[in-house]
């Protein structure tokens, strides 16, 4: 039986139409030059989190999206004596996944060719957090295999498809059942391309890790209540992803440039942390098995911000842990606690800022 999906309130459609007008006037090509001055100002903006500075750093880069019609969004935060602190930017990254080359760095077209050739166009929006970069040089825990934050990020997504192009929201079939393959594909897209390829990881290191084989997805329908709304709970296990680790060993692979974007990604995630002396056995960009737990729901909105058309919107909030790191350090139970800490952070974001999302009780 076909599912009756929640419908967004009229206020959401009004905000969406207003943003649609602004979006249509926004340039689609980058006008930002990758200069030393811009790099310095980007470091300051990320370190201070001042909105004005960050807006100037992003000027000329067509990246800004929204979640639930909001451009300025809360960042999920971890600040725990066991696990340390996270860092993020109150900014939504938007990427068109379709058959057209466009900014940033044509990555949406690349992902479409790899994972979504037989899917309708998809609009990807994300607000993410990762382990806080260290020191004035912003050295990243994200690329440090010694850290539990290695290859780990958490936060939330909004994924849009037009109603006229799809009979159901992304990640669901017409009966309201979760499409596990869809979820794996978006996870692979985010880790391997939207995060690590944009960071500068070579395609040759990514491609062997694009297969969906080996990973499992467990679904608990309406498995949790958050702010009096129900969410499906998904657990992804043993999903093999490329890492952004740079070994620094002579002759080993190193990062590639993606115009100004690779610097921006490295500044946000943290700059490389080569460990060729401490970890001589590890090569650049070696893969890791990752685990994720996600809260998922969907709805219909009558007027989407980027098209003005009726659109399905899928929402995913969740966290991740590095199973390779836990096995290497024999800290599997600690990984479970770390994941729950992230999930608590995204639940607080839902309660505080998105209490109307989710399914009816």
pLDDT in tens, 24-71: 455 555 556 778 887 888 787 777 777 677 667 766 666 778 899 887
Please report the pLDDT score of residue 15 as a whole number.
63
Alpha helices in 77-179 (DSSP H): 107-115
pLDDT less than 70: residues of the chain: 1-2, 13-32, 51, 54-55, 58-62, 304-307
Residue 227 within a domain: yes
Total domains in the fold of the chain: 1
pTM of the prediction? 0.92
DSSP code per residue over 13-74: HHHHHHHHHHHHTS-SS------HHHHHHHHHHHHH--HHHHHHHHTT---B--BTTBSS-P
Whether residue 3 is contained in a domain is answered as: no
Nearest partner of 170 among 242, 121, 107, judged by Cα: 121
Is residue 1 in some structural domain?
A: no
The pLDDT score that the predictor gives to residue 60 is 60
Q: What's the pLDDT score for residue 46?
A: 78
* Cα 338 to chain centroid, rounded: 18
pLDDT of residue 253: 96
- Closest by Cα among 346, 347, 354, 343 to 321: 343
Asked whether the beta carbons of 269 and 299 are under 8 A apart, the reply is no
Which residues constitute the domain of residue 84?
10-353
User: Per the domain annotation, does 24 fall within a domain?
Assistant: yes
330 part of a folded domain: yes
2 occurs within a structural domain: no
pLDDT at residue 6, rounded to an integer: 83
Q: What is the CA radius of gyration of the chain?
A: 19
Residue 232: inside a domain, yes or no? yes
CA angle 48, 43, 49 (to 5 degrees): 25
CA atoms of 357 and 232, how far apart (whole Å): 12
Helix or strand or coil: residue 268? helix
361 occurs within a structural domain? no
């Amino acid at each position: 039986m076909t599912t009756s999906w929640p419908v967004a309130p009229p206020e959401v459609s009004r905000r969406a139409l207003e943003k649609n007008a602004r979006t249509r006037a926004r340039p689609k090509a980058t006008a930002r030059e990758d200069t030393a001055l811009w790099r310095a100002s980007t470091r300051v903006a990320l370190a201070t989190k001042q909105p004005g500075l960050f807006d100037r750093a992003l000027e000329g880069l067509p990246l800004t999206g929204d979640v639930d019609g909001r451009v300025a969004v809360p960042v999920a935060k971890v600040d725990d004596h066991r696990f340390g602190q996270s860092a993020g930017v109150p900014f939504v990254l938007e990427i068109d996944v379709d058959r057209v080359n466009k900014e940033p760095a044509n990555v949406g077209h690349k992902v479409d060719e790899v994972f979504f050739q037989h899917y309708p166009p998809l609009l990807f929006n994300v607000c993410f957090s990762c382990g806080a970069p260290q020191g004035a040089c912003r050295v990243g825990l994200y690329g440090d295999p010694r850290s539990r934050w290695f290859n780990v990020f958490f936060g939330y997504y909004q994924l849009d498809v037009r109603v006229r192009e799809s009979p159901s929201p992304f990640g669901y079939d017409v009966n309201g059942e979760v499409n596990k393959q869809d979820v794996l594909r978006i996870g692979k897209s985010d880790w391997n391309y939207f995060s690590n390829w944009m960071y500068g990881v070579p395609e040759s290191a990514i491609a062997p890790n694009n297969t969906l084989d080996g990973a499992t997805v467990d679904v608990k329908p309406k498995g949790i209540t958050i702010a009096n709304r129900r969410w499906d709970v998904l657990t992804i296990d043993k999903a093999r992803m490329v890492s952004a680790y740079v070994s620094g060993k002579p002759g080993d692979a190193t990062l590639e440039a993606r115009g100004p974007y690779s610097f921006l990604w490295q500044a946000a995630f943290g700059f490389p942390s080569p460990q060729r002396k401490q970890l001589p056995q590890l090569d650049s960009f070696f893969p890791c098995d990752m685990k994720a737990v996600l809260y998922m729901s969907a709805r219909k909105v009558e007027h989407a911000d980027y098209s003005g058309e009726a659109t399905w919107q899928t929402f995913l909030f969740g966290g991740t842990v590095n199973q390779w790191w836990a096995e290497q350090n024999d800290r599997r139970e600690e990984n479970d606690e770390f994941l729950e800490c992230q999930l608590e952070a995204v639940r607080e974001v839902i309660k505080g800022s998105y209490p109307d999302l989710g399914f009816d009780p």
